[in-house]
Amino acid sequence: MSSIATRHGDDGTTSLLYGQRVPKDHPQIEAVGAFDELNAAIGAAKAASPDPVRRAALERIQHDLVALMGEVACAEADTERHAASTFRRLGEEDLARLDEALAALEARNIPLGGWATPGANPAAAALDVARTTARRAERRLGSLPTAGKSVRPLLRQYVNRLGDLLWLLAREAEQ
């Protein structure tokens, strides 16, 4: 059995998806880290939710985030290799699923009453932590083109919609 402590990162570097070594504070690593934090925050929201349907929807989003992180963790030179691989990539159907969830929540006429004050209950608070984490991850994703990493527009759209969805889910959980 091999150890998780490979010691390869002891020099302050880490690997992108296909092995290219970069500093641990590289913009792509920062973005992947932000999405990893988002995945954990959504896991906390999932654990705090009393609704099994909501938990399943949040888990589906976690699977989406794994696909997104794989794409973000790919060096620009390996973009075509990743696109041709068997790795899952987010698609229009994933974005449509978020749009449908947003429309369903909006149809419930959830009271939105201005600026949210998180903490009404554990489930709502966990969703607000996930929402703010999603917005940070969105900012990290948005910074990648200036660092030389292209970002498919669908990824930006997905993350933006996800932040909106988490906000609505938190407001619903407050009720």
CATH number of the domain that residue 100 is part of: 1.20.1200.10
What would the mean pLDDT of 125-148 be, rounded to a whole number?
97
Phi, psi dihedral angles at 17 (to 5 degrees): -55, -45
Residue-level pLDDT at 26 = 95
SS3 148: coil
The 10s digit of each residue's pLDDT in 80-127 is 999 999 999 999 999 999 999 999 999 998 877 777 788 889 999 999
Full-model pTM: 0.92
Residue-level pLDDT at 93 = 98
Asked whether residue 50 is domain-assigned, the answer is yes
SS3 13: strand
Our count of domains for the chain comes to: 1
Residue-level pLDDT at 67 = 98
Asked whether residue 80 is domain-assigned, the answer is yes
Strands 13-15, 21-23: pairing kind = antiparallel
Asked whether residue 135 is domain-assigned, the answer is yes
Residue-level pLDDT at 116 = 77
Asked whether residue 4 is domain-assigned, the answer is no
> Which range of residues forms the domain containing residue 124?
15-109+118-174
Name, in order, each residue with C-beta under 8 angstroms of 104's C-beta and a sequence gap of 6 or more. Answer: none
Is the pLDDT score of 46 beyond 80? Answer: yes
SS3 149: coil
Q: 3-state secondary structure string, 14-48?
A: EECCCCCEEECCCHHHHHHHHHHHHHHHHHHHHHH
Asked whether residue 25 is domain-assigned, the answer is yes
Asked whether residue 127 is domain-assigned, the answer is yes
Asked whether residue 2 is domain-assigned, the answer is no
Asked whether residue 5 is domain-assigned, the answer is no
What proportion of the chain, given as a percentage, has pLDDT over 70? 100
Count CA atoms within 13 Å of residue 101 on its CB side.
Answer: 24
What would the mean pLDDT of 37-62 be, rounded to a whole number?
97
Buried b (16+ CB within 10 A) or exposed e, 120-158: eeebbbbbbbbbbbbbbbbebbeebeeeebebeebbebb
Phi, psi dihedral angles at 57 (to 5 degrees): -65, -40
